[in-house]
Chains A and B, each alone.
Chain A
Amino acid sequence: MIKSFKKNIKGILIEGLTLSSAVVIIAIVVVMVTVIVIGGKNQISWEFLTSFPEDGMTKGGIFPAIYGTALLVIIMSIAAVPFGTITAIYLTEYAKENSIIAKTIRFAVRTLAVIPSIIYGLFGLGFFIKFVGTTMDSTFLGGHLKWGQPNILWASLTMALLTLPVVIVSVEEALKTVPDDLRAASLALGATKWQTIWKVVIPGSISGIMTGTILAVSRGAGEVAPILFTGVAYYVATLPASFSDQFMVLGYHIYVMTTQSANVDKTLPIQFGTTLVLLALTFILNISAIILRYRIRKKKIN
């Protein structure tokens, strides 16, 4: 009797300990969200979202940062989503499960996913700006400096490399949920392999491609390190009009305002407001991705 009670005590202790760890993690998330919402909610207004910074960034809105972030993720998605989807199609439809090529590609994708984002920044600087950019300048513009410096195109492409694994992984997961019977049926009706992929497999996994895109956009909107020296600017008076312009981004705006602005206390409301906007953006994107993915998994079970 006593022995079993002792056993029980241990069990309760261990279960309680693990439960409290889970609760602590949830609490951390809740506290972070609450603090930022409380700090920033008074700042959010239509004007804040749609006007330019004023008075040396101590007043005004964050419209250029929102616009820059949107432009960045759009160019990034155009680059990353097709390539990511095609890679996923190769891995699931063409490559043999245990071939060396497939294994190498999978390893490369997972490596891409863990490389620190700052390394992508260095790569963007070394490859896009200093190699591609300066080569373009010297061949097309006769040495006139246009592409050999940070701009939105290079920043978006750098970000696309960073988000490529995100797209690949979620599209691959979705492609695997398309039943093999459907493929076999399509092939049996005389469709070629490519026709099967294009007409049967891809439509069946469109929600997976969307999930991948959303997750990639969410990641791209929040990352700052890769674009630190590939195109982001502290302040630009005009919105970026061409690929060779610099631009502002929400995440970098937060960083600069908190660590390098002349008067940190004065801009505190703007900092909280910007953080809230960025957090809300990534939250909405992530929640929709979670819901989409939940549906895909449900489909898989059926």
Chain B
Amino acid sequence: MANKTKMSKRSELKDSQLIDITKKKFRWGDFLAEKVIKGVAFLSITIIVLIFVFVFREAFPIFSSSKSADQVMSAGNTAAGQETYGEVTDKPVVQDAQETYGEVTDIKDKEVKSKDSLTAQADDEKYTVSAGSGFDDNQSALKTVLTKDWVPVSQKPRYGILSLIVGTFKITIISMLFAAPLAIMAALYTASFAGKRMKEIIKPTIELLAGFPSVVIGFFALMILASVLQSVFHYDTRLNAFVGGIAMGIAAIPIIFTITEDALTAVPNSFYQASLALGASKWQTAFFVILPAATPGIFAAILLGIGRVFGETMIALMATGNAALMDLNPFTSVRTLAATIGAEMAEVVFGDTHYNVLFLIGSLLFIFTFILNAIAEFYVKGKLMKRIQGK
């Protein structure tokens, strides 16, 4: 009731007579300020639309029937643009990059993934074969997209993204299995059991963890976590989906925790009191009343956590081994969609098929996270409100 009067008071204020009185005189300053502010506010919508348009625009040529060398030139913006990125920036980049990821990750890696040595070799070829040569037929490139071989740079490039997709999902599942229970339990503790002092320790720690740059988490995973986990679980490949999944889980914990905790504290106090009045103990209330009431919020938290892991680039680049293998073993190296873009975009020729395919992968990532966010936003929130307000 009190809430309602407050609401109406606020809305009254917004378009109250007070403003109308001052509006007697038309003021240019105010008028302009309002228009400018409104215009700027639309910027965020504009950016979303622009991202849609420009990421898809660069991916689009893959769907056109065939591309002449002429088009490649114009897309690459004259001869200078034809040079790879690496060359434009600095010579050392190219030279150093020649030591492919396979080598960097581990020597053991190579022995184990004999099947994958083909990929690694192809990676080497990248720098001997002049990039972008001889493969302008997008139609046949498009046909290879739904296969499992990701060999983008060779005489006969294949752009099979299935193994990348499987790798990404593998990592996502591992990280969610690790992070979701941990973060949800911790949030339940903070919301239902923790005293004031404990809260003052947990919340800032989570905020600090949220501020951790992903490259630092990646560094930690690469240098320390990988060795520790290997000595505990005794698997062969040092950098694999498991290490990457745990590291990404660490990155996803703050998101899941914060949203879950918000959902838990949003459950009205009357639920809590009613449960206690009926004779339930504190933990029963927390576990059987508060937690179920907040499930849609927790669901949203997990969705956004998945979105974070799905698009995470730096941790994937540093801690997963980056070999496009297609199997379900959690202890083999994987290559995620985002990591593929991050690793290869800097070395492709502008306007080349490989370039377009990388943008296609980007479009997939974008669509996926957009949908996840939309579900979390509309479906879950609506349900949560309904449940809490009992309508």
Residues on A facing B (Cβ under 8 Å): 7, 10-11, 14-15, 17-19, 21-22, 24-26, 28-29, 32, 35-36, 39, 56, 83, 86-87, 89-91, 94-97, 104-105, 107-112, 114-123, 125-127, 130-131, 134, 137, 143, 145, 148-150, 161, 164-165, 168, 180, 183-184, 187-188, 190-194, 197, 215, 218-219, 221-225, 228-229, 233-236, 246, 251-252, 254-256, 258-262, 264, 271, 275, 278-279, 282-283, 285-287, 290
Contacts and interface: CB of A to CB of B under 8 A. Distances in A.
B202 A116 contact: no
A165 B281 CA distance: 41
Interface residues of B, number: 114
A125 B89 contact: no
B42 interface: yes
A197 B34 CA distance: 11
A110 B47 CA distance: 12
A17 B185 contact: yes
Given A190-B22, A260-B96, A7 B281 contact: yes
B89 A223 contact: no
Given A97-B11, A114-B373, A21 B189 contact: yes
Contact of B313 (A86, A117, A285): A117
A233 to B, nearest CB: 5
A104 B37 CA distance: 16
A18 B213 contact: no
Contacts of B282: 11
Contacts of A111: 48, 370, 373-374
Most buried by B among A87, A164, A183: A87
Interface string B27-52: 10110011011101111110110110
Given A145-B80, A193-B22, 9 more contacts: A15-B283, A26-B202, A109-B44, A122-B358, A126-B55, A184-B18, A193-B34, A223-B214, A255-B318
Given A94-B34, A97-B11, A255-B218, A118 B104 contact: no
Contacts of A126: 54-55, 57-58, 359
B308 A114 contact: yes
A104 B36 CA distance: 18
Most buried by A among B11, B104, B283, B370: B283
Most buried by B among A104, A123, A218: A123
Contacts of B177: none
Contact of A32 (B57, B212, B374): B212
Given A25-B206, A119-B362, A90 B38 contact: yes
Given A21-B182, A123-B51, A279 B341 contact: no
Most buried by B among A35, A56, A234, A283: A234
Interface of B: 9-11, 13-14, 18-19, 22, 27, 29-30, 33-34, 36-38, 40-45, 47-48, 50-51, 54-55, 57-58, 77-78, 80-81, 85, 88-90, 92-93, 96-97, 99, 101, 104, 181-183, 185-186, 188-190, 192-194, 198, 201-202, 204-209, 211-220, 222-224, 250, 253, 257, 281-284, 286-287, 304, 307-308, 310-314, 317-318, 338, 341-342, 345-346, 350, 358-359, 362, 365-366, 369-370, 372-374, 377
A170 to B, nearest CB: 12
